[in-house]
Amino acid sequence: MKAVELKNGIYWVGAIDWAVRDFHGYVTPRGTTYNNYLIMDKEVTLLDTVKHNFSDITIKNIRSVTEPSKIRHLVINHIENDHATSIDKIMELAPNATIYITEKGKKGLDRFFDTTKWKFRIVKTGDTLNIGKNTLLFIETPMLHWPDSMMTYLKEEKILISQDAFGQHLASAVRFDDEFITCASMSELENAVIDYYANILMPFGQLIKAKIADIQKLNLEIDMIAPDHGIIWRTNPQKVLQMYLDMAGGKADLSVSIIYDTMWHGTEQMTLPIMQGIKDEGVDCKVIKLRATPMSIAIKEFWRTRGALIGTPTLNNIMYPSIAEFLTHLRGLRPKNRIVGAFGSYGWGGGAVKEVYEEVKKMGLETHEQGLQILYKPSFEDEAKCYDFGREFAKKVKEYHKNF
């Protein structure tokens, strides 16, 4: 692998991580990339680094263009470990480089490294750096993804280096959206954007809307959006901006996800007639069994659909552990604008369905009550109740969807 040119003298020098499947607990079935960018100008500038175990790769990629010792400026848009843990290796090779970073970024970096010998310039929104033909404009984006985060806009070439925002956990042999669409598809790329947003950025929807509005107010022409993960948007960068605005505004498909787990298949047997009821109401439906599905995919499907039904058996009077794990993940992501119901089988006193509703209400989500509980396994009559439950839920989802 070697550097890939984005535009005149601006190169991707990152690393492809084909093998990562557990990204701090977030399952990444497609792997990921750690993108960083090198600008060959009068003053050579590197934007971001990569995860520590890929430092040799980015250094090799930099060397395919220039000697790392020539780096004069190192811009750190985000200090999370997947981007910042090669800084020490870069600074060993370019000890005279100045690091450009936000105030919170510097505070964080001081916790991860001995920074006493490094030169810093603290930057805030509106600050610029001229490096020859190119001018860099810094834009703080706190909580996108961490408090330290910022983006860097390359004025002359109209490229937005957006760090985590607009990225995807998607390892690929190609770097650009048009190339990816040719060898895979646009829907696969969109799916990766939704997956990433749902699992990482869902809690920050309001901030995202506000920050995109701020960027729009700056009247920046954007020819290309180059995130720190996945594919670079050069054909239609407005597409991913609009996707983010839509998701932050509560957009979802008029469809239902049934997310369930089961002990002796009683709850599982309930899913089929429920699904049929939903389908017969003209609403699309996807069934996801936890423990057979990565958590991040279940979260993505919950986020993609307007309505979700959570199916859980009662175990020792409470909900099934995998369902509790799912709801814990979901609560942390602070979902909005979704309607949820619950169902499940029980053997003695029940209780899991009630507990699911309590959890969902704590999240402030709309609920469809009453839920449906069935003793042991559904009889023929119970299956009819399941069908009606699915149908009623689909009607409610259709009504609720009109609000958006």
Which residues are near ligand FEO by CB under 6 A?
78, 80, 82-83, 145-146, 164, 228-229
**Structural tokens at position 243:** 């996707």
d(CA 231, CA 360): 35
Q: What is the 8-class DSSP label of residue 365?
A: -
- Which residue number, 83 or 300, has a Cβ lying nearer to ligand FEO? 83
- Which residue number, 16 or 288, has a Cβ lying nearer to ligand FEO? 16
Instruction: Tell me the DSSP string of 68-83.
Output: GGGEEEEE-S--SHHH
- Which residue number, 83 or 211, has a Cβ lying nearer to ligand FEO? 83
Residue of 73, 78, 83, 169 marked catalytic = 78
Residue 196 designated active-site = yes
CB of 15 to ligand FEO, least distance (A): 13
| Spatial contact of 163 and 83, defined as CB atoms under 8 Å apart | yes
Q: Which helix (H) or strand (E) holds 258?
A: strand 253-260
CB of 82 to ligand FEO, least distance (A): 4
- Which residue number, 78 or 300, has a Cβ lying nearer to ligand FEO? 78
Bridge partners, 128 (sequence order): 137
Which residue's Cβ lies closest to ligand FEO?
80
Q: What is the 8-class DSSP label of residue 320?
A: -
| Spatial contact of 340 and 309, defined as CB atoms under 8 Å apart | yes
Residue 325 designated active-site = no
How distant, in Å, are the alpha carbons of 152, 159, 216, 217 from that of 239? 19, 15, 14, 18
CB of 78 to ligand FEO, least distance (A): 6
CB of 244 to ligand FEO, least distance (A): 16
- Which residue number, 36 or 257, has a Cβ lying nearer to ligand FEO? 36
- Which residue number, 73 or 83, has a Cβ lying nearer to ligand FEO? 83
| Spatial contact of 283 and 255, defined as CB atoms under 8 Å apart | yes
Residue of 164, 228, 366, 382 marked catalytic = 164
Burial class (CB in 10 A: 0-12, 13-18, 19+), 286: middle
Burial class (CB in 10 A: 0-12, 13-18, 19+), 294: middle
CB of 19 to ligand FEO, least distance (A): 17
Residue of 43, 80, 88, 178 marked catalytic = 80
CB of 76 to ligand FEO, least distance (A): 12
Residue of 140, 229, 261, 281 marked catalytic = 229
Residue 157 designated active-site = no
Residue of 17, 48, 82, 140 marked catalytic = 82
168 prior amide bond cis, ω within 30: no
Residue 145 designated active-site = yes
Residue 82 designated active-site = yes
Nearest to 11 by CA among 25, 1, 26, 21: 1
Q: What is the 8-class DSSP label of residue 102?
A: -
Residue 73 designated active-site = no
Chain centroid to CA 327: 18
**Structural tokens at position 140:** 């703080």
Residue of 100, 153, 196, 197 marked catalytic = 196
- Which residue number, 48 or 177, has a Cβ lying nearer to ligand FEO? 48
CB of 235 to ligand FEO, least distance (A): 23
Residue of 34, 37, 48, 145 marked catalytic = 145
Nearest to 334 by CA among 364, 310, 305, 312: 364
Residues recognised as catalytic:
24, 78, 80, 82, 145, 164, 196, 229
